[in-house]
Structure 1
Amino acid sequence: MKILAVDDDPNILQLLIEVLRAGGFTNLLACPSAKEALKVISHVDVPFDCFLLDIQMNDMDGIELTSKIRALDAYRKTPILMMTAMSERSYIDRAFTAGASDYITKPFAIVDIHSRLRLIQSLINERRQMEDCNPTLQATSPSSIVTAADLERRFLLQDIDGFVDYLALENYLFQISHASLFGTIAFGVVVQEMTSVFRSSSLFEFEAALIDFAEAISDCLKPQSFLAAHAGGGHFVCVLSKCHDFDPEKFEQHLTETLKELDLHFCDGRGVSLRAVVGDSVSLHLKSPRGLANSLIQALHNAEAEAENPRSKRRAPPSPLTRLFGFVSA
């Protein structure tokens, strides 16, 4: 795994190099500034597999550097690990919004760095195996038919405001203190029958539909503070901060209206008529790390349950006998 580490403190940078080499990560380069890092990135023949970035640097901070790296086609999915002394939530929010994959605060534990990098290495290996099975030219061809694997995998929609990779969303939650999670909720959105409708379509059409739905979700959540991710198929999960009165029914109505305005179509001109369902929210306050990951899953389950048993059915209008005599007829 080829690594680029960037930190303007020469002592920290040298320590980081020694720590990485001790863990067997010897294929690495180090840069003392963000600007120099961008020069190195632009001139390498073999792209980097991972970036380790400090946030506080003089010429350009690590968050801005993250945004510039993500703007490069070759590095849209490359893991970016922030290693910084900045533990305030505002920095964490900005880093993940810019495209960070993970976040470690200084002073860092050597074992923690090694474990995170080994996880990144395994994810890279897995991605390469998938790419070998699904060549890039075929995958990006507008005429290629969407596969069952495509319908289940999580797409990276980072060009849409507030959207990050699903694993990055989990890592983001792990970095937030319990106190900062007060008022933070998660909720799921399920686009009903999306996989069945697009099963015989092109991959291009499926990705375009995902982008349209994600943009609609993002537009409906603005200007609130949020992060969201695609969770596979027609599933999306959102994390909303400083929210004490989230109404899933109102949000669903807003989302439905927004989707109607988009007027979605297949490439052949046929209209795309799909309904997005919003599940009940899950509070993230006082959750353990495992509880936070499970809360995202629970939020998705809530949306699936809502799709199977809508609120409108659960609130069926009372019968005439109920209205007359105040009891439910048998």
Structure 2
Amino acid sequence: MKILAVDDDENICALLTEAVTAKTNHELITVPSGPEAIRAIARQSTPFDCFLLDIQMPIMDGITLAEKIRKTKGYARTPIIMLTAMSQKRYIDGAFAAGATDYITKPFDFLELFSRISVADKLVGEQQRVLASASEMTSLKRDLIQNTAHSLNEPVEVIGVTQVVGYVAFENYIMQLSRSKLLRSSVFAVKIAGVEKIFNKADPIAFRQMLTDISSEIVSVLADNGAMAAYRGNGVFLCLLPRNNGFSHQRYELDLNSRLEFCPSLRDIQAPTKVCVGEPFSLRSLTRAGALFSLQKASASAETRAKSQKEVLALLRKSVRMAPRNGFQTEMERRAYEVLLQDALREDSAGDRPATAYG
């Protein structure tokens, strides 16, 4: 990759240059300020593949620079890794809102630094593969469809909606939240009911537009500038609430569906579209894995609300009986379904008792 590192500390720039040159095959260019970075971007005949930005710099801070990079043609999805001292972690919220995809703290743990750069390299490789494939298309329509084609389970990145980020950035953001913020924060999921039929009926462009419009309404109905949302795939959106404030998922579901009745992209698909909102789950946890498991539980709650109880129980029993597969993500999903099965069985024994609002 071709990487641009921006830091006003000459020692940090020298350290990054030495480490990246010695341990990787990446090309690293360093500049001392935001304005120098903008000029360096403009001078390049081939674009940069990744950015390492210090948050606190004179003249132009890293957050402002990240915003400018995102507005520069060709850099809407380029990985941006923020460099920050532990005392500056309060600025991370603004960095993610400005378009950062990851962060690393100073002083550097170089194993962690190389790991983050490796993740960025994989993202760049995938983006280049998509661009190379698109360049081979012979017609505009086929080109557009090829660029937007995806599987139903793919966590498509919704672009251009404030407070909505890619799912990788969403998880990275939650992983860096301080313990006090984790204690105050909760997460819930929104599921598009019957998304399989909609996906099979709509072309990729129309389906992506629907995801964009639903994302916009999700954050609009929340009316909370601190909230954040991401599309996880399979018709599921995850939403982060920085404060609970008596949030009622039933009332939110009614408000959201009321707004979606007037959504043009849903009318264009000509398929009845309703969303189901699951219960919110606290992010309070002693481990990062515990916080991520809350995302699994929130997603499972919305899935449950979108299916009949009979279908849910059949799915859960099948999931629990399945032999464990490799991978941390699969294990988290299996554990989430086990918890959900217990909850569903409790609801089954409780009869038709009305649901209560969370808060």
TM-score range, shorter chain: 0.7 to 0.9
Amino acid at match of 1:27: E
Query: In 2, distance between residues paired with 1:8 and 1:22?
Result: 22
Per the alignment, residue 151 of structure 1 pairs with 152
Q: Which residue of the partner structure matches residue 107 of structure 1?
A: 107
- When residues 137 and 234 of structure 1 are mapped into structure 2, their CA distance, relative to the original with a 3 A threshold, is farther
Cα distance in 2 between the residues matched to 1:249 and 1:10: 54
Aligned counterparts, 1:1-330, within 5 A:
1-85=1-85, 87-88=87-88, 90-133=90-133, 135=135, 141=141, 144=145, 149-265=150-266, 269=268, 271-309=270-308, 316=352
Show structure 2 runs of 5+ residues with no match. Answer: 310-343, 355-359
Does the 8 A contact of 2:154 with 2:233 survive in 1? yes
Answer whether contact 1:147 1:199 (CA < 8 A) is retained.
no
Residues in 2 aligned to 1:8 and 1:305: alpha-carbon distance in whole angstroms: 51
Task: Identify if the C-alpha distance between structure 1 residues 34 and 239 changes in structure 2 by more than 3 Å, giving closer, same or farther.
Answer: same
1:58 Cα deviation after fit: 0.9
Following the alignment from structure 1 to structure 2, what is the Cα–Cα distance between the partners of residues 136 and 181?
A: 46
Q: Could you give the per-residue CA deviations for residues 113-146 of structure 1, whole angstroms, max 9, x where no partner exists?
A: 0111112222322343454455586898387389
Report Cα offsets for 1:183-206 as digits up to 9, x if no partner: 211111111122322324322211
Structure-2 separation of matches of 1:292 and 1:317: 30
Preserved contact between residue 139 and residue 203 of structure 1 (Cα < 8 Å): no
SS of alignment partner, residue 149 of structure 1? coil
1: CA distance, partners of 2:117 / 2:208: 30
- Structure-2-length-normalised TM-score: 0.79
1:148-183 Cα deviation digits (max 9, x unpaired): 734332222242111111111111111112222112
> 2:262 aligns to what SS in structure 1?
helix
Secondary structure class of the residue paired with 1:292: helix
Give me the CA root mean square deviation: 2.8
CA–CA separation in structure 2 for the residues paired with 1:74 and 1:2: 14
Pick which of 128-137 and 3-12 moved more: 128-137
- Residue identity opposite 2:285 in structure 1: L
Q: Equivalents in 1 of 2:247, 2:10: separation in Å?
A: 47
C-alpha distance 84-233 of structure 1, shift in aligned 2 (>3 A): same
2: CA distance between counterparts of 1:238 and 1:255? Answer: 13
For residues 270 and 74 of structure 1, do their structure 2 counterparts lie closer, same or farther at Cα, with a shift above 3 Å needed?
closer
Count, aligned residues: 316
Structure with the largest fraction of helix: 2
Q: Work out the percentage of aligned pairs sharing the same amino acid.
A: 35
In the alignment, the residues of structure 1 paired with residue 171 and residue 119 of structure 2 have an alpha-carbon distance, to the nearest angstrom, of 14
CA contact (8 A) 2:159 2:212 kept: no
Question: Could you tell me the TM-score, scaled by structure 1's length?
Answer: 0.86
